[in-house]
Structure 1
């Protein structure tokens, strides 16, 4: 399935007084990595919103395991890949590496969503061209 990789440098503001990344910041990294995964496929969030009239892909479940801390100044690699593709939902796995070691593994389940006429959110089938790219070996 399609995958992407990006480098992140840990900033001072990401860290707690113990000089390690405050754990909620990792979820921000992984959310940005999901966006980068779609960008790498050629589908920006602007395109998804403006052209496809979708809201995007809200999170319905996330889980993480922490193996090694990261500190201010560390350059980490986040590898992201689709793990499953349903009709309207999909899974992503993010693995964050620090100095070659697996530091964190995170899984996400997201849904393709659009607004209904009354303004509420509703899951919708993932468009065929996006599904095809998700399933490719990018």
Structure 2
């Protein structure tokens, strides 16, 4: 299925007092990497594909990570993101973080394609056929 790689330079503000990346910041990086993955698939920026497909977003409903090695201020990491599964209204994303080729983190997400109802509440919606195709469905 679809893959994309994003490069991130670790900033001073990403780190905790020990000088390593404060772990919640990785989830911010993963959120950006997921958006970049879909932007590459749809050939448009996130603000455009939200409007184009008429969705409210792609919230994360499940996540997990295995932290193998830390990263520090000034490191440049690469996040390889891949679609791993397609459900009716959800999709899985796997992120592998590398520095100089070494695996630093392995993470996964489950996200849901959501629309806003007439009452303003968000609810899941089926992945459109075009989206399924662009994300690598056979």
Q: Quickly name the TM-score band, shorter chain normalised.
A: over 0.9
Aligned-partner Cα distance in 1 for 2:86–2:15: 34
Task: Give the CA deviation at 1:136.
Answer: 6.0
Counterpart of 2:128 in structure 1 is 127
Inter-CA distance 136–85: structure 2 relative to 1 (3 Å threshold): closer
Matched length? 137
* Runs of 4+ off more than 4 Å: none
CA-atom RMSD in angstroms:
1.3
Correspondence for 2:30: 30
The corresponding residue for 1:103 is 104
1:20 aligns with 2:20: yes
- After TM superposition, the structure 1 = structure 2 runs for residues 1-138 of structure 1, keeping only pairs within 5 Å, are 1-41=1-41, 42-135=43-136
**What CA deviation, in whole Å up to 9, does each residue of 1:89-125 have, x standing for no partner?**
0000001001211101110000000001111111001
**Match of 1:92, SS?**
strand
Which 5+ residue runs of structure 2 have no aligned equivalent?
none
